[in-house]
Structure 1
Amino acid sequence: WREMAKQVAHEIKNPLTPMRLTVQNFQRKFEANDPNISKKLADYTQTILQQIDTMSSVANAFSNFATMPAQQNETLNVVEVVQMTLEIFNEEYIRFSAIEDEIIAKLDRTQLIRVVTNLVKNAIQAIPETQENKLVFVTVFREDQQVKIAVKDNGKGISAENAARIFEPKFTTKSSGMGLGLAIIKNIIENYKGTITFETTLDQGTEFLVSFPINK
């Protein structure tokens, strides 16, 4: 938590510097009779609003992590919920597979959707935009009284340095998707006595495997 607090402070300080410089610059160069004053004011305002939005997203992420909603368990078909969740994505290279049409477990529907959405978003972001033959493969299956969800991509993989810290509750402004998202879903999964693991190979891809006990 100490490391997390330091990271939060760092992410909040980052936008403050350009905000301060923008205001100082405007104050120093302000000239009421400047024919371009409206354009300059719009540019300065846009810069400050962008930085405010950045700070707001950091605050929201921290708030979401700190206030996990209570679990509302219900008996549901995990295969159906996962398949439905994938329908929100527009990427045509996402593939779904399930050996069975129905695997019943007692879980919170919203939190299950959150887990799947987060992992699929990460998988999409792990694939470079310029890469050809993109693939995200989502599989649901039953094994040893567990329902398992695998999310595999053929992206850039995870470095050894990042792999060692991937589930730490830390903030990031990068688009890698690592940070609070994975910390939150790990929390959700472990609350169900489940597990989340991953295997990765640089420049070949990553596969996350989530396991939930089947408690009907």
Structure 2
Amino acid sequence: MLKRVLLLSGVGLTVALLWFAISNYRTAVPLAEENLRGVALSISSAVENAAVHDPTFHSLNTLRPKDLAFLAVLDRDGIYRFHSNPDLIGTRSDDGRYSAVLQKADAIEGRVVLGTGEKAYEFLAPLYLPDAEMILRLTLHTYRADAVVRKAELNMTILIGLLLTGWVMAAFIYRFALREELHHLEMARQEGLARLGEMGATLAHEIRNPLAGIKGFAQIIEKKPIDSRNSEFGRLIVAEVLRLENLVTSLLSYAKTERNAVSLFWLKELIAHSVALVSAELAQQKITLVTDCAESVQCRGDRDRLGQVLLNLVKNAVQAMPDGGTLTIAAQTRGRGVVISVSDTGQGINEEDQARIFEPFFTTKARGTGLGLALCKKIVEEHQGTISVTSAAGKGTSVIIELPGGVWE
């Protein structure tokens, strides 16, 4: 979407600049013509004024404007009465346009090419004197008048060149960015494949161990179907099957991509429900429970998924205190959101392991799946929250969850 907006913006800016440059050039051409016409009219007025006071036209020899190429005055028969080139005075002009000027009683103007190859501006107009009607012929240089046209052409050329350069550079940058994007995608794909391979190896290891136990116990039962130890072997088989079932359940939960069922619920009730599920372990291991959550604290999110997070954290805390200790669960509001903490006084986590505890399949437990904390992190982040751990070996662990207010999908 952003690329399309940038492309359309670039095309729009390019069209606008081209329109401005072409419009400026097209305006410059008639402006130059108007400048030439103005100079011609000024000279015509000066010639007419001089001719009235000097019928011999000798005073016209002193009339030398910068833009004037040559000046001539013809009578009705086409005879030059005055010319900037004295050799042509008294000769007849072979240009029949002078008669059209007298008939129309209006000026004729336009661009002409001189014998030298120079492009000039010619202006023919009737010249009314007290005793005669003549024709004024002016030829003007166009250098100064066409300066505005040349400037407009130069500006248009520079602008087009800059636009072309800009688009070429943009094409190179886009190609480079595309290559970088493809490179990053390929690296991400390779990294994903590497993770998938590592995950597959870990998963195969986690599955192989229970299967080996199940297979061994089943073979013993098969060989000695009436052995007195079969009941114990059967119990071990069931335990290993449950272990596999828990692993598959954790995998399915971790891979779940369904939308969260958002609702508003009392957080104290959720804490009580999670604690009730492990009450037997708390009593058996002589763990003291401390909860600190006001009745009014509410949380907005998927109650079942957040309950799963809380239950996983409570179970981890219980497992970290096999010889007893204190489990503390606290919750309080912060702004529109809530902060939940689960703390224990158990074994703690080594500093080198703390950076990896949220990685899938990473575990320090002999029979753990390594998906518990990874699943907690995934669910919390789905709720746009954060989860962090502070721990010290031999002093216990605290897990802090911060959930913002609002609604998530």
Larger radius of gyration: 2
Decide whether aligned partners of structure 1 residues 171 and 5 sit closer, same or farther in structure 2, where only a CA change above 3 A counts.
farther
Gaps of 5+ in 1: 31-35
Q: Is 1:161 the equivalent of 2:372?
A: no
Q: What does 1:1-216 correspond to in 2, within 5 Å? A: 1-2=195-196, 3-21=198-216, 30=223, 38-39=226-227, 42=230, 46=234, 48-90=237-279, 91=282, 93-98=288-293, 100-129=294-323, 131=324, 134-170=325-361, 174=365, 179-215=370-406
Using the alignment, how far apart are the partners of 1:146 and 1:172 within structure 2? 31
Per-residue Cα deviation, 1:160-186 (whole angstroms, up to 9, x for no partner)? 232121111116694686721111111
Structure with higher RCO (Cα < 8 A, 6+ apart): 1
Per-residue Cα deviation, 1:42-68 (whole angstroms, up to 9, x for no partner)? 369626555444434333332332235
Using the alignment, how far apart are the partners of 2:276 and 2:217 within structure 1? 42
Q: Which moved more, 1:41-50 or 1:52-61?
A: 41-50
TM-fit CA distance, 1:84: 3.9
Using the alignment, how far apart are the partners of 1:178 and 1:45 within structure 2? 23
Using the alignment, how far apart are the partners of 2:217 and 2:367 within structure 1? 28
**Normalising to structure 2: TM-score of the pair?**
0.44
Instruction: Give me the CA root mean square deviation.
Output: 3.0
Q: Which moved more, 1:163-172 or 1:2-11?
A: 163-172
In 2, are the aligned partners of 1:80 and 1:102 still within 8 Å (CA)? no
Per-residue Cα deviation, 1:59-102 (whole angstroms, up to 9, x for no partner)? 3332332235531101222234324432333226111002x431
**Normalising to structure 1: TM-score of the pair?**
0.79
TM-fit CA distance, 1:106: 1.9
Letter in 2 for 1:165: R
Using the alignment, how far apart are the partners of 1:72 and 1:214 within structure 2? 15
Aligned-partner SS, 2:227: helix
Using the alignment, how far apart are the partners of 2:305 and 2:219 within structure 1? 45
Residues paired across the two proteins, number = 205
Using the alignment, how far apart are the partners of 1:84 and 1:114 within structure 2? 11
Decide whether aligned partners of structure 1 residues 52 and 75 sit closer, same or farther in structure 2, where only a CA change above 3 A counts.
closer
